Amino acid sequence: MIDNKKICVVLPAYNAGRTLERTLREIPMDVVDDIILVDDFSADDTVEVARRHNLFVFRHERNKGYGGNQKTCYRLALERGADLVIMLHPDYQYSPKLLLPMASLLGSGFFDVVLGSRILGVGALAGGMPYTNTSPTAR
> Residue 56: beta bridge partners?
36
Q: Which helix (H) or strand (E) holds 32?
A: none
Q: How far is the C-alpha of 9 from the C-alpha of 96, rounded, in Å?
A: 10
Give the angle 133-44-65 at the CA atoms, nearest 5°: 40
Which has the closest alpha carbon to 7: 106, 89, 94?
106
The predicted model scores a pTM of: 0.85
| Residues 20 and 13: beta-carbon distance below 8 Å | yes
pLDDT tens, position by position, 88-139: 999 887 789 889 999 999 999 999 999 887 666 656 666 565 556 554 554 4
> CATH number of the domain that 57 lies in?
3.90.550.10
Q: Containing domain of residue 119, as a range?
A: 7-138
Instruction: Let me know if residue 98 belongs to a domain.
Output: yes
- The number of domains in the chain is 1
